[in-house]
């Protein structure tokens, strides 16, 4: 049975990876906005922003990566929605295969395609002066946190893809997510923000994740931020997974 699940999921993954590689424009669309933001913040606002650290590109990088992931998962919702609309979702569900492989194929594809975006953006960042002293362990920790964040948002995207009745509905959920980094420590320190904004910024997931990734890149201790980041990601993941499963059961009832 479990070999069945793995084999079926592998086929599903191969299928939707082809969807990603055959529409490279989606990768470009996903990476272009974060790269543009990185350029604007670095070369337009950067000189006027006081972060208390030397290299502003380093400061920007974690938030830019989160923006890329938040917009990247909207394509996951889009791909799943398209499957539901065309008959292919029902074809898979009427076949003697592990049904769970249909959703997991999309989830794994989301992880792979977002990883590609992240690598591209880090590459551009290196050209713009991004430098890190992170060793293998710190890099693995960064990869792990970004993967967990991607996984959590992917399941949010799955809810949208399963429950939406229009293409816009399947993708619009990501717009507010893309704005969360602006209300966080991603671009400027939270100290100068007015009270309520500061309170929001310091207690939302993006700040904890940004601070953790930044600390890992700088080889600094991440302190409590890493636990807050993990708790946020795990919490979002669990809730989103439960809601997605409910939407799924409603669809196939």
CB distance 20 to 111 below 8 Å: no
Q: Which part of the chain contacts other proteins (CB under 8 A), choosing from 67-75, 94-102, 151-159, 181-189? A: 94-102
Of the candidate residues 95, 119, 126, 140, the single one contacting other proteins (CB under 8 A): 95
Q: Is 249 in the site for other proteins (CB under 8 A)?
A: no
Of the candidate residues 28, 50, 93, 166, the single one contacting other proteins (CB under 8 A): 93
d(CA 163, CA 241): 13
Q: Which 145-164 residues touch other proteins, going by CB under 8 A?
A: none
Of the candidate residues 6, 91, 126, 140, the single one contacting other proteins (CB under 8 A): 91
Angle among Cα 239, 234, 186 to the nearest 5 degrees reads 110
CB distance 103 to 154 below 8 Å: no
Q: Is 25 in the site for other proteins (CB under 8 A)?
A: no
Of the candidate residues 47, 52, 54, 96, the single one contacting other proteins (CB under 8 A): 96
Q: Is 28 in the site for other proteins (CB under 8 A)?
A: no
CB distance 164 to 77 below 8 Å: yes
d(CA 192, CA 114): 32
d(CA 155, CA 220): 31
Please state the closest distance from residue 20 (CB atom) to other proteins, in A: 10
Residue among 15 and 198 whose Cβ is closer to other proteins: 15
Q: Is 11 in the site for other proteins (CB under 8 A)?
A: yes
Residue among 92 and 187 whose Cβ is closer to other proteins: 92
Residue among 164 and 215 whose Cβ is closer to other proteins: 164
Enter the DSSP assignment of 188.
Answer: S
Q: Is 115 in the site for other proteins (CB under 8 A)?
A: no
CB distance 158 to 103 below 8 Å: yes
Residue among 23 and 53 whose Cβ is closer to other proteins: 23
Q: Report the candidate in 12, 4, 104, 123 with the shortest Cα–Cα distance to residue 64.
A: 123
How many other CB atoms are there within 10 angstroms of residue 182's CB atom?
A: 14
Q: Which part of the chain contacts other proteins (CB under 8 A), choosing from 90-98, 140-148, 156-164, 179-187? A: 90-98
CB distance 141 to 46 below 8 Å: no
Interface residues toward other proteins, by CB under 8 A = 7-8, 11, 14-15, 18-19, 22-23, 86-88, 90-97, 252-253
């Amino acid at each position: 049975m479990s070999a069945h699940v793995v084999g079926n999921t592998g086929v599903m993954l191969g299928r939707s990876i082809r969807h990603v590689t055959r529409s490279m424009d989606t990768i470009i669309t996903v990476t272009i906005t974060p790269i543009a933001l990185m350029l604007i913040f670095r070369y337009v606002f950067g000189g006027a922003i006081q972060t208390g650290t030397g290299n502003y590109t380093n400061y920007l990088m974690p938030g830019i990566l989160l923006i890329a992931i938040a917009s990247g998962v909207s394509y996951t919702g889009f791909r799943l929605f398209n499957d539901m609309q065309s008959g292919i979702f029902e074809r898979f569900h009427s076949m003697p295969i592990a049904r769970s492989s249909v959703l997991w194929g999309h989830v794994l594809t989301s992880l792979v395609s977002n990883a590609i975006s992240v690598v591209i953006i880090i590459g551009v960042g290196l050209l713009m002066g991004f430098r890190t002293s992170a060793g293998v362990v710190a890099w693995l920790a960064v990869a792990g946190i970004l993967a967990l964040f991607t996984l959590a948002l992917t399941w949010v995207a799955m809810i949208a893809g399963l429950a939406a009745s229009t293409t816009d509905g399947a993708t619009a959920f990501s717009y507010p997510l893309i704005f969360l980094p602006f209300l966080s420590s991603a671009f400027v320190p939270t100290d100068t923000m007015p009270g309520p904004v500061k309170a929001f910024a310091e207690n939302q997931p993006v700040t904890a994740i940004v601070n953790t990734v930044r600390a890992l890149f700088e080889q600094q201790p991440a302190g409590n931020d890493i636990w807050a980041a993990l708790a946020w990601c795990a919490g979002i993941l669990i809730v989103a997974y439960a809601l997605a499963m409910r939407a799924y059961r409603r669809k196939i009832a």
